[in-house]
């Protein structure tokens, strides 16, 4: 419907990176942010597969959004 001029869509920046079709992307006047949180149990966090996934996520975010604030809060 957006491509046909019958509507509009509000999408996150990540979704707009691979958008196809004849559409125009307009930014908002103000910047908006979301927080995405990953929570694991202390037992699950120790598994090699979870450690690998956490490292992959961290690397991806650091490469794609180097200006982003990355914090790590651990409870023990």
pLDDT > 80? residue 33? no
76: Cβ–Cβ under 8 A, 6 or more apart, which residues? 42
> 52: pLDDT confidence band, cut at 50, 70 and 90?
very high
CA pair distance 72, 40, nearest whole angstrom: 12
pTM score, whole prediction: 0.49
Let me know how long the chain is.
76
Confidence label for 56 from pLDDT (cuts 50, 70 and 90): very high
- Looking at residue 49, its pLDDT comes to 94
């Amino acid at each position: 419907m957006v491509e046909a001029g019958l509507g509009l869509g509000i999408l996150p920046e990540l979704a707009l990176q691979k958008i196809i079709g004849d559409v125009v992307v307009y930014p908002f006047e103000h910047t908006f942010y979301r927080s995405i949180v990953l929570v694991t149990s202390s037992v699950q966090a120790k598994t090699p597969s979870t450690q690998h996934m956490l490292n992959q996520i961290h690397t991806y975010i650091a490469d794609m959004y180097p200006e982003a604030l990355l914090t790590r809060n651990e409870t023990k």
